[in-house]
Amino acid sequence: MHKHLQKVREFHQRFGIEQPAYPETAHLSDMDIVMRQALLMDCGSETFKAITAGDLAKILAGLVDLAYNALAAIACRGDDVSATTVKWRQDGSVLSVMRVLADKINNCSSGESIHYSALYNLCEQLARGFVNADFDRAFNTVHAHLMGSNIPSTNAGRDYGQRIAKETLPPAPDLSDALYE
């Protein structure tokens, strides 16, 4: 099992978020896909705002949050991260970054693990190539912050309003230490 996916599964277990036992694969319901898409779009919006402001630490936090949410969807399916090729133009243009992120987020509306994996892999690559940061260190910092937070572990069942509130990640800690520059 992928090391970051294992951390997300630990988070789910700690806070009572339902997931099948690995490697029992389950399909996401239509409403689960919509909920996951809403969470990804919120993280995408925060990432785009950080890009607009030019704040590298917040861009990194947005990429890690996107990756964490993509892995959460994979964990809720009982799958593992798939190896995918990620292509983006390293032309120095923020528009190319925005386009590729928006496309990968949009593709996740399929509810398939391959698309969530592609988004995760893109976030990891952008953290290294666009932000010039240590993605693994940033991911581990966010995970430790989440595991130490006081998220109520109530059973939300099929109430998607409660589930969205429960699965929305709190603001990431300062990730400046994970930046190489």
In whole numbers, what is the pLDDT of the chain averaged over residues? 89
Which CA distances in Å does 36 have to 15, 90, 153?
17, 28, 19
Residue 133, helix vs strand vs coil: strand
Say what the pTM is. 0.89
Taking only the tens place, the pLDDT of each residue in 3-60 is 999 999 999 888 888 888 877 888 889 999 999 999 999 999 999 999 999 999 999 9
Taking only the tens place, the pLDDT of each residue in 101-147 is 999 999 999 999 999 999 999 999 999 999 999 999 999 999 999 99
CA distance 97 to 101: 6
What is the per-residue pLDDT for 169? 78
Residue 134, helix vs strand vs coil: coil
Asked whether residue 81 carries a pLDDT value surpassing 60, the answer given is yes
